[in-house]
Amino acid sequence: MKACRVAVVGAGLAGLYAARALHASGIDVIVLEARDRLGGRILTADEAGMPAEDGFDLGPSWYWPQMQPPMETLIGELGLHCFAQNSEGDVIIERMSRERPQRYRPTMVEQQSMRLSGGTASAVRALARDIPADRIRRDATVTAMTLSDTGIELTVKSGQGNFEIFRVEQVVAALPPRLLEATVSFSPQQDPGTAARWRDTATWMAPHAKFFAVYDEPFWRTVGLSGTAQSMVGPLVEIHDATTASGKAALFGFPGVAADQRAALGEELLKQACLAQLSKLFGPAALKPRAVLLKDWAADPLTATAADRVGGGHPLPGNAQWVSGLWKDRLILAGSETSPSEPGYLAGAVIAAGLAVADILSKMDSR
């Protein structure tokens, strides 16, 4: 049996932020991540779909500095470089299948969306660098939590199928509440009201997919297009320029096809339909990509549950009581969806993790 003061479950932005802050405060902490990579819903990939240090964000990509100062502060602290989402040029609107797409000059954007050079995973790498490598365990799936007089015993399954027990004083669950409720068994069980709240909290973006078409150059810019398009026809309903800071050209879009329909259609047919639509919107050059990528988050069992296959609304800020009863002094939820502000967004992950760290340090001081 292994012992540690704090276990952080999940190595996404929230989990790594919390672990880094706890380690800096001298707290013995271990991070347990079910995936074989860090980042959670943050995934920056090359044109083959493999994790890369300079690639395309198959998960979250944008943040808004003025509306989300915690994210701006973190990026400054980590010394990361950012750049503005391309919005120079006209926008295309596709209203009906029997009408030609229309081209419009966009109005001034009040809140400029920003992206990170190297992709959002650059923040993941920067946070992980400040945590000792032996305190991060990949392929470590927490399957059960048992409350004891001195803390929590975690049952952890390795990628090889072996089980280990970790005894800790506190647990920070830095994953979506719905995923936590669906994948971890608790002894004693969570209060029915608490479990219901976790189940009813939709995991942001879990029902969705992202399609990318990678090109030799951003040909749409040369004809005065921004790469932004909106469609009521589909299959893509929202399209943007995904060209990286280093100049790797791409367009990406969100399919408006529901998860079950995507599964029935199949990945190849969906990719073909998306390329045909890009050609209709941006011209025949769109039919000649270097590569295409499709990341279906609804098909990712470490992101989505069966309940996430139906589109849910954006999580709403709620009260801070995510854990109650016997568990409230030992378990803290810190997934982005639990944040009192900007829930679901990158900034929400930073805020939720910061609150979890403050809570743990306060409890340990009092002990």
Q: How far apart are CA 5 and CA 271, in angstroms?
A: 47
CA angle 122–126–129, rounded 5-degree value? 135
Q: How far apart are CA 340 and CA 112, in angstroms?
A: 23
CB 289 within 8 A of CB 213: yes
Tell me, what's the pLDDT at 297? 97
Q: How far apart are CA 367 and CA 358, in angstroms?
A: 14
Question: What are the residue ranges spanned by the domains of the chain?
Answer: 2-42+123-204+315-366, 45-119+207-299
The DSSP-derived string for 235-279 is SEEEEEE---TT--EEEEEEE-S-HHHHHHH-HHHHHHHHHHHHH
Pairing of strands 209-215, 291-296: antiparallel
Pairing of strands 163-173, 331-333: parallel
Tell me, what's the pLDDT at 312? 64
CB 125 within 8 A of CB 20: no
Residue 181 phi, psi dihedral angles, 5° rounding: -65, -35
Per CATH, domain 2-42+123-204+315-366 is 3.50.50.60:
yes
Give the domain 45-119+207-299 fold. Polyamine Oxidase; Chain A, domain 2 (3.90.660)
pLDDT digit string (tens) for the chain, length 367 residues: 688 999 999 999 999 999 999 999 999 999 999 999 999 999 999 999 999 999 999 999 999 999 999 999 999 999 999 999 999 999 999 999 889 999 999 876 667 899 999 999 999 999 999 999 999 999 999 999 999 999 999 999 998 999 999 999 999 999 999 999 999 999 999 999 999 999 999 999 999 999 999 999 999 999 999 999 999 999 999 999 999 999 999 999 999 999 999 999 999 999 999 999 999 999 999 999 999 999 999 999 999 999 998 866 667 776 778 999 999 999 999 999 999 999 999 999 999 999 999 999 998 776 6
Owner of token pair 């009408």: 99
Tell me, what's the pLDDT at 111? 77
Closest residue by Cα to residue 327 from 197, 190, 166, 169? 190
pTM for this predicted structure: 0.95
CB hemisphere CA count around 344 (13 angstroms): 14
Q: Which sign does the torsion angle of CA 236, 238, 244, 250 carry?
A: positive
